[in-house]
Amino acid sequence: MPVIKAFDLAYGRLRSPDLDKEEEFLTDFGMVRADRTRTALYMRGTDAPHHIHVTELGEPRYVGIAVHAASLEDLEKLSRVEGASSIEDIDEPGGGKRVRLTDPDGYQVEVVHGMAMLPPIALSRPAVNSGNDKYRRKGELFRIPRGPSHIKRFGHFVIASKNFDKTLGWYREMLGFRCSDDFYSGEKGNVVGSFNRLDRGEDYVDHHAFFCIRSDKSGLNHLSYEAADIDDIMVGHEHLAAKGYGHMWGIGRHMIGSQFFDYWIDPWGRVHEHWADTDVLNAATPPNLMERGPGTAGPWGQPIPQKFMGYASP
């Protein structure tokens, strides 16, 4: 049994030497400023959580990840784990309490409870007239403006690890992540990547919240955010391209998880993904093992660039 079952992802925490520049990128990426202090930037999506992305002022670094606990009792359980902090009040906008842990690669894992929830940002999106239900938009015209995407929520995080087995086992044990798909290279025992989802029992959750990659270096591969829909990603793609940001991979449709995807790079090399339309599973789906190869490529889209294989921002 894991120590707890994380309820949801909360935010990724980065460090950047220029908060103006980071805010400009994240705004162009489709987030909205929730708060900013002299030393940190807090960005939100259209859903209720106070923030889904934190940037501290400092030398570029991936600090770590945060997840929401289902209860204060879960924080108590985690605070008894060796090396964990006690339960702390979060002295930052959004508040709440947390326990801090350190993963096997030395990155921080915050488990938070009681973060402020804000009124969701209203966003009206046109329905799509296709397939067997082509009258969803009866009498209405498809009119959406150009500009940035609209980030809804934090969907998943991906880390590369040189301690792959230990790191994967640690996240599953501490936070209750459940295997959706593992894939191997060569022999079946040589698992090189593992897609894991939250465990909320009968409730359906995204195919993966956490993907771990075997690599010769450890660090953040990417943070991934759900956009409003597919058109929202396409419109946002043109906006980010026009602004001259670095593009990593896309557009395409994944095979594992099925998301429509597009990957962008912030001014310090940290990859941020837009996605929409994921597979959703509940605890009834057993773990799957597959071989890495052409069979794991999606139905269409740009193949993964070599530079993104095992990519890790320290």
Q: Which is nearer to Fe ion, 74 or 181 (CB)?
A: 181
Residue 196 sits in the site that holds Fe ion (CB under 5 A) = no
Give min distance, CB of 94 to Fe ion, in A. 25
Give min distance, CB of 156 to Fe ion, in A. 6
Give min distance, CB of 273 to Fe ion, in A. 5
Give min distance, CB of 291 to Fe ion, in A. 20
Tell me how long the chain is.
314
Q: Which is nearer to Fe ion, 229 or 273 (CB)?
A: 273
**Residue 6 CB coordination number (10 Å):** 26
Q: Dihedrals φ, ψ of 241, to 5°?
A: -65, -45
Separation CA 145–CA 308 (nearest Å): 31
Q: Which is nearer to Fe ion, 46 or 224 (CB)?
A: 224
Q: Which is nearer to Fe ion, 199 or 226 (CB)?
A: 226
Give min distance, CB of 178 to Fe ion, in A. 17
Q: Which is nearer to Fe ion, 176 or 193 (CB)?
A: 193
Q: Which is nearer to Fe ion, 191 or 209 (CB)?
A: 209
Q: Which is nearer to Fe ion, 164 or 210 (CB)?
A: 210
Q: Which is nearer to Fe ion, 99 or 210 (CB)?
A: 210
Annotate 195-232 with DSSP letters as a single string: EEE---TTS-EES-SEEEEE-SS-EEEEEEEEES-HHH
Give min distance, CB of 25 to Fe ion, in A. 18
* 224 to 253: interface string for Fe ion, x by CB under 5 A: x-----------------------------
User: Is 69 within 8 Å of 6 (Cβ atoms)?
Assistant: yes
The CA R_g of the chain, rounded to the nearest whole Å, is 19
Give min distance, CB of 221 to Fe ion, in A. 8
* 264 to 283: interface string for Fe ion, x by CB under 5 A: ---------x----------
* 207 to 226: interface string for Fe ion, x by CB under 5 A: -----------------x--
Q: Which residue has the CB atom at the shortest distance from Fe ion?
A: 224
Long-range own/partner contacts, residues 93-101 (CB < 8 A, 24 or more apart)? 93/34, 93/35, 93/37, 93/42, 93/50, 93/51, 94/34, 94/35, 94/42, 94/49, 94/50, 94/51, 95/50, 97/72, 98/66, 99/75, 101/174
Task: Kindly determine how many residues on this chain lie close enough to bind Fe ion according to the rule CB under 5 A.
Answer: 2
Residue whose entry in the numeric block shows the structure tokens 């799509």: 128
Give min distance, CB of 223 to Fe ion, in A. 9
Separation CA 192–CA 185 (nearest Å): 6
Task: Name the site residues for Fe ion (rule: CB under 5 A).
Answer: 224, 273
